[in-house]
Amino acid sequence: MFSRFLGEPPFAPKSSGREYFFIKDEMTWGEARDQCRNQYMELLSVSNKEENNIAAKLLSLDEPAWIGLFNEHYAEYSWMWTNGELASFFNWDTFYPMDFTTMSVCVIMVNEFWKDVPCDLNFSFICYSDLLGTSKKPTADTLLTNDALTVVDDEEKPRPFSEKIVPTGESPMTPKSSDRVFFLIKDETTWGEARDQCRNRYMELLSVRNKEENNIASNLLSLNEPAWIGLYNEHYAEYSWMWTNGESASFFNWDTFYPMDFATMSVCVIMANGLWKDVPCDFKFSFICYSE
Protein backbone atom coordinates (compact mmCIF):
# COMPACT_ATOMS: atom_id res chain seq x y z
CA MET A 1 0.00 0.00 0.00
CA PHE A 2 2.87 2.34 0.68
CA SER A 3 6.63 2.20 0.85
CA ARG A 4 9.14 3.36 3.45
CA PHE A 5 12.68 4.31 2.48
CA LEU A 6 15.46 6.69 3.36
CA GLY A 7 15.60 10.01 1.57
CA GLU A 8 13.48 13.00 0.55
CA PRO A 9 10.96 14.56 0.05
CA PRO A 10 8.75 14.49 3.16
CA PHE A 11 5.20 13.14 3.25
CA ALA A 12 2.76 15.94 2.28
CA PRO A 13 -0.86 14.68 2.10
CA LYS A 14 -3.15 16.58 -0.25
CA SER A 15 -5.80 17.07 2.42
CA SER A 16 -3.43 18.74 4.89
CA GLY A 17 -1.54 22.04 4.98
CA ARG A 18 1.47 20.25 6.47
CA GLU A 19 4.51 18.19 5.64
CA TYR A 20 5.22 15.28 7.98
CA PHE A 21 8.75 14.16 8.85
CA PHE A 22 9.55 10.88 10.60
CA ILE A 23 12.96 10.96 12.33
CA LYS A 24 14.41 7.52 13.15
CA ASP A 25 17.03 8.81 15.61
CA GLU A 26 15.97 7.94 19.16
CA MET A 27 15.97 10.86 21.59
CA THR A 28 14.27 12.05 24.75
CA TRP A 29 11.08 14.06 24.26
CA GLY A 30 12.85 17.36 24.98
CA GLU A 31 15.62 16.61 22.49
CA ALA A 32 13.05 15.61 19.88
CA ARG A 33 11.12 18.87 20.43
CA ASP A 34 14.30 20.92 20.03
CA GLN A 35 15.35 19.13 16.84
CA CYS A 36 11.90 19.59 15.29
CA ARG A 37 12.05 23.32 16.09
CA ASN A 38 15.56 23.65 14.70
CA GLN A 39 15.03 21.74 11.43
CA TYR A 40 11.31 21.90 10.70
CA MET A 41 8.61 23.63 12.72
CA GLU A 42 7.38 21.64 15.73
CA LEU A 43 7.02 18.17 17.19
CA LEU A 44 3.77 16.77 15.81
CA SER A 45 0.44 18.11 17.04
CA VAL A 46 -2.76 16.25 16.13
CA SER A 47 -6.10 18.00 15.86
CA ASN A 48 -8.35 15.28 14.44
CA LYS A 49 -8.65 11.60 13.50
CA GLU A 50 -7.51 12.14 9.91
CA GLU A 51 -4.23 13.74 10.99
CA ASN A 52 -3.73 10.92 13.49
CA ASN A 53 -4.21 8.29 10.77
CA ILE A 54 -1.75 10.06 8.47
CA ALA A 55 0.93 10.19 11.17
CA ALA A 56 0.32 6.57 12.18
CA LYS A 57 1.06 5.39 8.64
CA LEU A 58 4.60 6.70 8.97
CA LEU A 59 5.28 4.04 11.63
CA SER A 60 5.79 0.32 11.37
CA LEU A 61 3.75 -2.11 13.47
CA ASP A 62 4.45 -1.62 17.21
CA GLU A 63 6.94 1.19 16.45
CA PRO A 64 6.73 4.04 19.00
CA ALA A 65 7.36 7.70 18.21
CA TRP A 66 7.15 10.91 20.22
CA ILE A 67 4.42 13.41 19.38
CA GLY A 68 4.24 16.93 20.81
CA LEU A 69 1.70 16.34 23.60
CA PHE A 70 2.82 16.80 27.22
CA ASN A 71 1.48 17.48 30.69
CA GLU A 72 3.62 19.28 33.28
CA HIS A 73 1.09 19.35 36.13
CA TYR A 74 -0.73 16.09 35.52
CA ALA A 75 -4.18 17.65 35.59
CA GLU A 76 -6.90 16.85 33.07
CA TYR A 77 -6.92 20.42 31.76
CA SER A 78 -3.12 20.61 31.35
CA TRP A 79 -2.56 18.60 28.15
CA MET A 80 -0.65 20.94 25.82
CA TRP A 81 1.05 20.73 22.43
CA THR A 82 4.54 22.14 21.94
CA ASN A 83 3.10 24.79 19.60
CA GLY A 84 1.23 26.25 22.60
CA GLU A 85 -2.23 24.91 21.76
CA LEU A 86 -4.42 23.19 24.34
CA ALA A 87 -5.27 19.64 23.27
CA SER A 88 -8.88 19.01 22.23
CA PHE A 89 -8.49 15.71 20.33
CA PHE A 90 -7.14 12.55 22.01
CA ASN A 91 -6.61 8.97 20.89
CA TRP A 92 -5.52 7.20 24.08
CA ASP A 93 -4.66 3.52 24.20
CA THR A 94 -6.44 1.29 26.75
CA PHE A 95 -5.58 2.23 30.39
CA TYR A 96 -4.11 5.58 29.30
CA PRO A 97 -3.49 8.30 30.28
CA MET A 98 -1.93 6.96 33.46
CA ASP A 99 -1.86 8.74 36.82
CA PHE A 100 1.78 9.67 37.40
CA THR A 101 0.59 12.31 39.92
CA THR A 102 3.71 14.41 40.51
CA MET A 103 5.86 13.84 37.43
CA SER A 104 5.68 15.51 34.03
CA VAL A 105 4.73 13.14 31.23
CA CYS A 106 5.02 13.15 27.44
CA VAL A 107 3.21 11.15 24.77
CA ILE A 108 4.19 8.51 22.23
CA MET A 109 2.11 7.12 19.38
CA VAL A 110 2.08 3.34 18.85
CA ASN A 111 -0.20 1.68 16.28
CA GLU A 112 -2.05 5.05 16.08
CA PHE A 113 -2.88 5.00 19.82
CA TRP A 114 -1.32 7.27 22.43
CA LYS A 115 0.51 6.43 25.67
CA ASP A 116 1.82 8.89 28.26
CA VAL A 117 5.28 7.93 29.50
CA PRO A 118 8.22 9.57 31.33
CA CYS A 119 9.79 12.21 29.11
CA ASP A 120 13.35 10.95 29.52
CA LEU A 121 12.78 7.73 27.56
CA ASN A 122 14.32 7.53 24.07
CA PHE A 123 12.15 7.09 20.96
CA SER A 124 11.99 8.14 17.32
CA PHE A 125 9.73 11.12 16.65
CA ILE A 126 7.50 12.92 14.12
CA CYS A 127 7.93 16.59 13.17
CA TYR A 128 5.84 18.78 10.92
CA SER A 129 6.13 21.99 8.89
CA ASP A 130 3.31 24.13 7.51
CA LEU A 131 3.22 24.15 3.71
CA LEU A 132 2.07 27.76 3.72
CA GLY A 133 4.76 28.90 6.14
CA THR A 134 8.51 29.07 5.89
CA SER A 135 9.66 25.52 5.38
CA LYS A 136 13.18 24.47 6.30
CA LYS A 137 15.09 22.06 4.11
CA PRO A 138 13.83 18.56 4.86
CA THR A 139 16.29 15.91 5.98
CA ALA A 140 13.82 13.32 7.25
CA ASP A 141 14.72 9.72 6.73
CA THR A 142 11.30 8.33 5.89
CA LEU A 143 8.91 8.89 2.98
CA LEU A 144 5.40 7.71 2.29
CA THR A 145 3.89 7.78 -1.18
CA ASN A 146 0.49 9.37 -1.76
CA ASP A 147 -1.07 5.89 -1.72
CA ALA A 148 -0.88 6.19 2.05
CA LEU A 149 -3.72 8.71 1.98
CA THR A 150 -6.22 5.86 1.86
CA VAL A 151 -7.61 5.55 5.38
CA VAL A 152 -8.64 2.04 6.32
CA ASP A 153 -11.00 1.05 9.09
CA ASP A 154 -9.34 0.37 12.41
CA GLU A 155 -8.85 -3.34 12.95
CA GLU A 156 -9.43 -4.83 16.36
CA LYS A 157 -6.20 -5.63 18.14
CA PRO A 158 -5.52 -9.37 18.33
CA ARG A 159 -5.95 -10.94 21.73
CA PRO A 160 -3.13 -13.14 22.98
CA PHE A 161 -5.35 -15.61 24.81
CA SER A 162 -8.94 -16.85 24.63
CA GLU A 163 -11.55 -15.00 26.62
CA LYS A 164 -13.42 -16.52 29.52
CA ILE A 165 -16.07 -14.33 31.16
CA VAL A 166 -16.24 -14.72 34.93
CA PRO A 167 -19.28 -13.61 36.93
CA THR A 168 -18.91 -10.79 39.46
CA GLY A 169 -17.53 -11.89 42.81
CA GLU A 170 -14.96 -14.44 43.86
CA SER A 171 -14.35 -16.98 41.10
CA PRO A 172 -11.98 -19.82 41.91
CA MET A 173 -10.26 -21.79 39.18
CA THR A 174 -8.31 -24.97 39.85
CA PRO A 175 -6.04 -25.96 36.94
CA LYS A 176 -5.48 -29.71 36.58
CA SER A 177 -1.71 -29.41 36.34
CA SER A 178 -1.24 -26.96 39.23
CA ASP A 179 -1.19 -27.29 43.01
CA ARG A 180 -3.00 -23.95 43.36
CA VAL A 181 -6.52 -22.51 43.32
CA PHE A 182 -6.90 -19.11 41.64
CA PHE A 183 -9.43 -16.48 42.80
CA LEU A 184 -10.47 -13.37 40.87
CA ILE A 185 -11.68 -10.61 43.20
CA LYS A 186 -13.71 -7.97 41.38
CA ASP A 187 -13.43 -5.28 44.08
CA GLU A 188 -11.05 -2.56 42.87
CA THR A 189 -8.34 -1.70 45.40
CA THR A 190 -4.76 -0.45 45.49
CA TRP A 191 -1.99 -3.05 45.16
CA GLY A 192 -1.22 -2.94 48.90
CA GLU A 193 -4.88 -3.42 49.83
CA ALA A 194 -5.13 -6.31 47.35
CA ARG A 195 -2.04 -7.96 48.85
CA ASP A 196 -3.44 -7.66 52.39
CA GLN A 197 -6.85 -9.00 51.39
CA CYS A 198 -5.29 -12.01 49.65
CA ARG A 199 -3.20 -12.76 52.74
CA ASN A 200 -6.18 -12.44 55.06
CA ARG A 201 -8.62 -14.55 53.06
CA TYR A 202 -6.55 -16.87 50.86
CA MET A 203 -2.78 -17.15 50.77
CA GLU A 204 -1.12 -14.50 48.58
CA LEU A 205 -1.59 -12.12 45.69
CA LEU A 206 -0.91 -14.15 42.57
CA SER A 207 2.64 -15.15 41.69
CA VAL A 208 3.21 -16.59 38.21
CA ARG A 209 5.84 -19.28 37.79
CA ASN A 210 5.42 -20.19 34.12
CA LYS A 211 3.48 -19.62 30.90
CA GLU A 212 0.78 -22.14 31.80
CA GLU A 213 -0.07 -20.39 35.06
CA ASN A 214 -0.08 -17.05 33.23
CA ASN A 215 -2.60 -18.41 30.71
CA ILE A 216 -4.80 -19.79 33.49
CA ALA A 217 -4.86 -16.44 35.30
CA SER A 218 -5.50 -14.57 32.05
CA ASN A 219 -8.56 -16.72 31.35
CA LEU A 220 -10.15 -15.41 34.55
CA LEU A 221 -10.25 -11.92 33.02
CA SER A 222 -12.48 -10.43 30.35
CA LEU A 223 -11.03 -8.73 27.28
CA ASN A 224 -8.91 -5.70 28.27
CA GLU A 225 -9.75 -6.23 31.96
CA PRO A 226 -6.76 -5.38 34.22
CA ALA A 227 -6.00 -7.08 37.53
CA TRP A 228 -3.21 -6.83 40.08
CA ILE A 229 -0.75 -9.68 40.42
CA GLY A 230 1.82 -9.99 43.19
CA LEU A 231 4.90 -8.67 41.35
CA TYR A 232 6.50 -5.43 42.54
CA ASN A 233 9.78 -3.52 42.48
CA GLU A 234 10.70 -1.19 45.36
CA HIS A 235 14.07 -0.02 44.07
CA TYR A 236 13.44 -0.07 40.34
CA ALA A 237 16.47 -2.17 39.54
CA GLU A 238 16.47 -5.12 37.17
CA TYR A 239 17.31 -7.55 39.96
CA SER A 240 14.63 -6.23 42.34
CA TRP A 241 11.46 -7.78 40.88
CA MET A 242 9.87 -9.75 43.74
CA TRP A 243 6.63 -11.62 44.42
CA THR A 244 4.68 -10.97 47.61
CA ASN A 245 5.42 -14.55 48.74
CA GLY A 246 9.11 -13.58 48.97
CA GLU A 247 10.29 -15.30 45.79
CA SER A 248 12.46 -13.52 43.23
CA ALA A 249 10.79 -13.39 39.81
CA SER A 250 12.26 -15.66 37.12
CA PHE A 251 9.35 -15.72 34.63
CA PHE A 252 8.07 -12.50 32.99
CA ASN A 253 5.44 -11.75 30.35
CA TRP A 254 5.78 -8.00 29.76
CA ASP A 255 3.62 -6.07 27.33
CA THR A 256 5.36 -4.03 24.61
CA PHE A 257 7.48 -1.15 26.06
CA TYR A 258 7.23 -2.57 29.59
CA PRO A 259 8.64 -2.52 32.19
CA MET A 260 8.88 1.26 32.14
CA ASP A 261 11.56 3.38 33.77
CA PHE A 262 9.91 5.09 36.71
CA ALA A 263 13.37 5.74 38.19
CA THR A 264 12.73 6.55 41.86
CA MET A 265 9.20 5.29 42.54
CA SER A 266 8.07 1.82 43.58
CA VAL A 267 5.95 0.07 40.98
CA CYS A 268 3.52 -2.85 40.98
CA VAL A 269 2.22 -5.03 38.16
CA ILE A 270 -1.14 -5.61 36.50
CA MET A 271 -2.09 -8.29 34.00
CA ALA A 272 -4.33 -7.46 31.03
CA ASN A 273 -4.92 -9.83 28.09
CA GLY A 274 -2.21 -12.08 29.50
CA LEU A 275 0.47 -9.36 29.32
CA TRP A 276 2.03 -7.43 32.20
CA LYS A 277 2.40 -3.69 32.80
CA ASP A 278 4.19 -1.97 35.70
CA VAL A 279 2.19 0.96 37.07
CA PRO A 280 2.08 3.09 40.24
CA CYS A 281 0.92 0.98 43.19
CA ASP A 282 -1.84 3.40 44.23
CA PHE A 283 -3.96 2.72 41.15
CA LYS A 284 -7.11 0.70 41.81
CA PHE A 285 -7.85 -2.57 40.00
CA SER A 286 -9.40 -5.97 40.56
CA PHE A 287 -6.92 -8.61 41.66
CA ILE A 288 -6.11 -12.32 41.60
CA CYS A 289 -5.29 -14.34 44.72
CA TYR A 290 -4.21 -17.93 45.08
CA SER A 291 -4.25 -20.68 47.67
CA GLU A 292 -2.19 -23.86 47.70
26-74 pLDDT, tens per residue?
A: 999 999 999 999 999 999 999 999 999 999 999 998 899 999 999 886 6
Is this model's pTM higher than 0.75 or not? no
E strands along the chain, which residues? 18-27, 42-43, 65-71, 80-81, 105-110, 113-118, 123-130, 171-173, 181-189, 204-205, 227-233, 242-243, 267-272, 275-280, 285-291
Which range is least confidently modeled, 96-105, 197-206, 252-261? 96-105
* % of the chain exceeding 70 in pLDDT: 72
- In order of their start, the domains of the chain are 18-149 (3.10.100.10), 171-291 (3.10.100.10)
What is the spatial distance between Cα 108 and Cα 282, in angstroms, rounded to a whole number?
23
**What mean pLDDT is reported for the chain?**
78
- Of 41 and 131, the one with more pLDDT: 41
Q: What is the pLDDT of residue 199?
A: 93
